[in-house]
Amino acid sequence: METNSNTPSFLRVTIHSLEAQGEGRFDDLQGPIYVPKALPNEIIDGELYWRRGRQRALRIKEIIQASPDRAEAICPYYDRCGGCSLQHLTVEAYQSYKLNLAKKTFQLHGLNIDMDVHYWGQPGQRRRVSLSYRHERAGMKIGFYAQHSDFLVGIEQCPLLTPSLNKLLEPLKVFLATIVPMRAEGFVHLTETLTGIDLSWSPHRFRHTDLTNDLWQAWGQFAIQHHIARVTRAAKELLLEREKPYISFHGHRIAFPPAAFLQPSLASEQAMSGLLTQWLQAAELPVKAKIADLFCGLGTFSFPSRVFGVVTSIDCDGPSVTALQEASSHQWSVIKRDLFKDPLTAQELDEFDVVILDPPRAGAYEQAQQLAQTSVDHIIMVSCDLSTCARDLKVLLNAEYYIESAKIFDQFPFTPHLEAMIWLKRR
């Protein structure tokens, strides 16, 4: 490490590695220095600063020697926006990094798994997004926060979003400037559905007296002009519904609860349900096999599973359970149950031939412990956090299960985030 100024906060470093959060890393005698948007073997001139978490970081001023893996970012906000962290890699380097990241995450838990990437996300596909806003003296900002910062980067377009969501950003910014006071902030959650956009507005400070007739009318006019199906406050209080938002799974329409969970793109959802179908076909299940879909949400995997047997869908989210009950016309069992506090017991699980386990980021450790004691023939794990997935997977591998197939999904392009689907068979 060299100083290129009399001021010790300006440094020249050679990047050693690319870390799990997509940042370059250099180590000196005092420990690591993280360099966002830097690549291994690059020589960087930058300004040293302390960021949240008491981490030392380097703000790039000049790249003295660039890596051959460096690419031009596709987004004009990339140097400031915290939404993405890996646009500066070539396609080949990016894909290699993501696959190695997945393998290393499992290796940290003592697991060496043969896996490959089944799906690569592409720009222009993301159908849901949360955007922050702040009304500043210079005008309304809507966008994403910079990494490790409370600085809000205003954007006009995002290359990852669908055209319909992108088309809404500028009108939404203009509209929010007319209804929220100066210095007010909050966020909006947008989901593109079959019948229009579902919009959840969450101002940070809100009183019910703020809901004047003028505000209701303003939201109504905005919704009509921009094909907004529904507007809620904080995904709970209905402000207006021009048309009920619907989504579709496996050809079945489901009423979409406000800001409910949905795979980020239709393409990734189809890739995951397609792989599930492929695995269930290969499993050679008995006629009318019994299939449990745990943490089922709105039924992403319940609907394709029905082709192969009798499904029981379980989740703790009341609106999602209600929507799935209505969409299924009560043709199969849909149960509201908190599987974190009250996991299915081994005795309850033993009646199933297949268990689909699709928990949120926290994983399903207690449920995995019960599964490890069962005679269920097939377990299909779907995980949006590889670390908790590895933890839960280890419980099953230490019991009577082995991995038949493992696939990775890159649903959030240009970020370190990855998801996994793993098919386990009982020995």
- Please give the positions annotated as active site: 384
Joined tokens for residue 382: 């779907």
Place of tokens 């299924």: 328
Nearest-10 crossing angle of helices 91-107, 386-397: 40
CB distance 323 to 249 below 8 Å: no
Q: Tell me which residue of 246, 22, 44, 27 sits closest to 148, measured CA to CA.
A: 22
Calculate the CA 413 to chain-centre distance: 10
d(CA 140, CA 148): 22
Q: How far apart are CA 283 and CA 423, in angstroms?
A: 10
3-state secondary structure of 88: coil
The Cα–Cα gap between 363 and 282 comes to 26
Q: Please name which of 288, 277, 314, 281 lies closest in space to residue 299, comparing C-alpha atoms.
A: 314
> Per the structure block, which two tokens stand in for 296?
């089922």
Residue 110: CB partners within 8 Å, gap ≥ 6? 394
Computed from CA positions of residues 292, 423, 370, 262, in that sequence, does the dihedral angle turn out positive or negative? Answer: negative
Per-residue tokens: 63:
């790249």
Element (H, E) at 164: helix 163-179
Q: How far apart are CA 388 and CA 228, in angstroms?
A: 37
Quick check: 39 and 67 in contact, CB under 8 A? Answer: yes
Q: Give whole-number Cα distances, 361 to 55, 365, 386, in Å.
A: 25, 11, 9
Q: Where are the alpha helices (DSSP H) in 37-107?
A: 91-107
